Amino acid sequence: MEGTRSDDNRVNLKQLFLLFPSIVYVVLIFQLALALMLVTAFFRYQFPHIVDQFTLENFQRFFSSSLYLGTLYVTFKIAATTSLLSLLLGYPVAYALARSQSRLERAVLFVAVLISLFLGIIERIYAWVLLLQDTGIVNRLLATLGLGPVRLMYNEVGIIIASTHFLLSYAIFTLMGSIQSVSPSLEEAALGLGASRVRMFMDVTLPLTLPGILSCVLLTFSLGMSAFVIPMLMGGGLVWMLSNMIYDRVVFTGNIPFASAIALILLFVSIVSTQLVTMLVTKKIKVG
Amino acid sequence: MSSRTIDQLSGALVRMVRLGVFLFLMMPLAFVVVMSINPRPELFPPPAITPVWYQSFLSRPDFRGGLFVSVLLGLSVTAAAVTVGTLCAFPLARIRFKGTSLLSAIFLSPLAVPQIASAVALLNFFVFVGVISRRFEVLLIAHTIIALPYVIRVVTGSLIGFDRSLEEASLNLGASTTQTLLRITLPLIKPGLLAGAFFAFQASFSNVTVSAFLASAEVTPLPVVLFSWMRFTFDPSLAAISTLLMTFTTSVIFLLERILGLERLIGVAGGIRSI
């Protein structure tokens, strides 16, 4: 190519116009909508209109009411439990995916985790309803053993089970990446020096995958905090998480300013988690 | 207890957890399939096999209407997101300038924001602009925003691993820029484009949260019809439609595996979802 440097630059600048449609969608609509939501959260709502008056009362109302603080607590509790369960159940699977010698074992686990990653939320919830409802398969099984019935749905247990099912694939892929980045020769060296497998895991693998573990916990926690469909259907109106409160305020009272305030709280949790993950990952790169 | 025994015990425990997780992930889905052909939902295992739940799903006008909206919406979103995302991927992959990483972060931001927050923000925005009554177009824009990051990510990936000397050879042999684009560049990044299209369709077709806020009684995508239906009852025809949806998802995964290969599919899927 005989193109000079300035020709290349001109071509490059012309190419920048190709970004324009994406900028319309992502910046001029999506980011602007987020900015508008931020502003809306500071407006007063008087049925059925948004009043043109700056106020902090949406946030004051949220943080001074036991109803909303209670919901925040329940949301936090469910998300934290789910996140911890996803880590504990996900780690052994992620380890097998990263390290297993058996191609068959890896292939089978990969297919299961991938199906779970792409599975629609409706199908997932219907599956758990069949198992967990009062007349569901689990309770029928318990009945034949002379036990139960146990309430497994319309409470926090049902939400936690379905959310863990939803978040496990995210946890497994995050952990798998972290485990793969640890050189197997480090583990082999520990074994060669006479360490037991448990000792090798505690002294080598676990500390080196700590950033991955923290990323996994933060990611699943923030996704769990903003869960909407699962608590709506598995909670059946008896357990409320923040998202359900948002939906209720929007659909039944049209109070978009208050809904925006709650949505901002969830957005805040998610941004803090993402930032922490970014910091942890960069730190990992510096260390490694 | 010797450390050897502890090793064996913990090894056995780890294998049990693995098997347990596999069953936990897959067993519920198997039950859905079985229940979809079970003539008497109160009995398990099924005493016979029946297609009645599939027929009852297909005979319901609200389900059929929802399916029509979802397919039309999914195809429109795929077309829009693949076009817009591919245009965006070229400069992102090929121009090195300050702020490329900031730009990527901005374009991928719809994935980093919780969907419930995006839903409220977009509803508020469309009401504010005064276009909320055009439900289909509003859903199309919202879904395209959600689908775009997947396309941008996959297509940028294809373009970065692209041997540009092939394009130069084509231009040197006298082909025009358009000919080179159509006959060299696009065919070579076809796997990325196809994968992006599947990701985009799936993102739209399975979306509940954003759709639930933006849909109306006239324009309701299938997952929102099912979502509303499930708030009141868990009719076995839901087992039939769930089985069909799971079959579709699984076929897409196997297709993507054929197109991208397992390692790259996992890289893209895992990487994208964990932003």
Q: What is the pLDDT of residues A86-133, one digit of tens each?
A: 999 999 999 999 988 888 888 899 889 999 988 999 999 999 999 999
- Tell me the one-letter amino acid at A177: G
pLDDT higher at A141 or A165: A165
Return the structure tokens found at B1.
């207890």
Return the structure tokens found at A181.
């980045």
Beta bridge partners of A50: A45
Contact across the interface for A127 and B274, Cβ inside 8 Å: no
Question: Model ipTM?
Answer: 0.91
pLDDT computed for residue B241 by the predictor: 93
Secondary structure letter of residue A53 according to DSSP: E
Q: Count CA atoms within 13 Å of residue B275 on its CB side.
A: 18
Distance from C-alpha of B116 to C-alpha of B227, rounded to nearest angstrom: 15
Residue of B nearest to A137 (CA): B44
Residues B108-117 have a mean pLDDT of 92
Contact across the interface for A246 and B120, Cβ inside 8 Å: yes
CATH number (3.40.50.720, 1.10.3720.10, 3.40.630.30, 3.30.460.80) of A76-242 reads 1.10.3720.10
Residue B231's pLDDT band, with cuts at 50, 70 and 90, is confident
Contact across the interface for A170 and B11, Cβ inside 8 Å: no
Please tell me the pTM assigned to this model.
Answer: 0.91
Residue A287: pLDDT above 50?
no
Residue A50 touches chain B, beta carbons under 8 Å: no
Give φ, ψ of A54 to 5 degrees.
-70, 135
pLDDT computed for residue B271 by the predictor: 54
Contact across the interface for B14 and A89, Cβ inside 8 Å: no
DSSP string, B46-85: -SS---HHHHHHHH-HHHHHHHHHHHHHHHHHHHHHHHHH
CA distance B18 to chain A (A): 5
Distance from C-alpha of A213 to C-alpha of A176, rounded to nearest angstrom: 10
Nearest alpha-carbon partner for B204 in B31, B77, B42: B77
pLDDT computed for residue A154 by the predictor: 92
Q: Count CA atoms within 13 Å of residue B160 on its CB side.
A: 10
Scanning chain A, the segments in alpha helix (DSSP H) are 5-16, 20-23, 32-40, 57-64, 66-99, 103-118, 121-132, 137-144, 156-180, 184-192, 197-200, 206-208, 210-225, 229-234, 242-248, 256-287
Residue of B nearest to A251 (CA): B213
**Of B201-205, B222-226, B250-254, which gets the smallest average pLDDT?**
B250-254
Residues A243-251 have a mean pLDDT of 94
pLDDT in tens, B115-170: 999 999 999 999 999 999 999 999 999 999 999 999 998 899 888 878 888 888 99
Q: Could you tell me the residue ranges of all domains in chain B?
A: 55-273
Secondary structure letter of residue B147 according to DSSP: H
Distance from C-alpha of B161 to C-alpha of A90, rounded to nearest angstrom: 32
Q: Name the residue among A15, A34, A115 with its Cβ closest to that of B249.
A: A115
Q: Name the residue among A16, A118, A232 with its Cβ closest to that of B202.
A: A118
Residue B265's pLDDT band, with cuts at 50, 70 and 90, is confident
Q: Name the residue among A199, A215, A260 with its Cβ closest to that of B120.
A: A260
Distance from C-alpha of B92 to C-alpha of B159, rounded to nearest angstrom: 9
Residue A1: pLDDT above 50?
no
Residue B140: C-alpha distances to residues A18, B66, B82 (Å) = 21, 15, 13
Residue A227: pLDDT above 60?
yes
Q: Could you tell me the residue ranges of all domains in chain A?
A: 76-242
To 5 degrees, how large is the angle CA B169–CA B173–CA B178? Answer: 80
Residue A27: pLDDT above 90?
yes
Average pLDDT score over chain A: 89
Residue A4's pLDDT band, with cuts at 50, 70 and 90, is very low
Q: Name the residue among B44, B84, B171 with its Cβ closest to that of A25.
A: B84
pLDDT in tens, B59-71: 989 999 999 999 9
Residue B274: pLDDT above 60?
no
Return the structure tokens found at A251.
């659909």
The answer to whether domain B55-273 has CATH 1.10.3720.10 is yes
C-beta separation of A118 from B252 below 8 A: yes
Nearest alpha-carbon partner for B113 in A67, A29, A16, A141: A29
Residue B270's pLDDT band, with cuts at 50, 70 and 90, is low
pLDDT in tens, A40-99: 999 988 777 777 788 899 999 999 999 999 999 999 999 999 999 999 999 999 999 998
Q: Which of residues 59-78 of A touch B (CB under 8 A)?
A: none
Beta bridge partners of A51: A44
Residue A3: pLDDT above 50?
no
C-beta separation of A84 from A217 below 8 A: yes
pLDDT computed for residue A10 by the predictor: 58
To 5 degrees, how large is the angle CA A215–CA A216–CA A217? Answer: 95
Residue A288: pLDDT above 60?
no
